[in-house]
Amino acid sequence: MSKYATKTLGQLSQTEENWIDGLKRSSLDLSKPFSAKQAANAIVDTPTTKGTTRKLCPVSYKMAYVLKKAPGFSLAYYDAKKRPMFVYDE
């Protein structure tokens, strides 16, 4: 048995919740599989609820991490280059 604990995904921070909210409000079709880079670009293009631009924008690596722990999003499959493709279930 290992003395190290396995890494678990925690709760979403407020910034990450804002990113997920922006993703849901974006023009990206969430019913079809999408990559983390497409999600990050959609979040950057979507203004905040107040209509301003975002100061904290996700990169694709961080967005993949957030989508893995966000409720309602699931991993559809990995593409040929082993990048995760996500889909929104709800």
Q: Which DSSP string corresponds to 5-20?
A: PPP---PPPHHHHHHH
pLDDT in tens, 30-87: 999 999 999 999 999 999 999 999 999 999 999 999 999 999 999 999 999 999 999 9
Contact 84, 78 (CB under 8 A): yes
Token output for 74: 């699931």
Model pTM greater than 0.75? yes
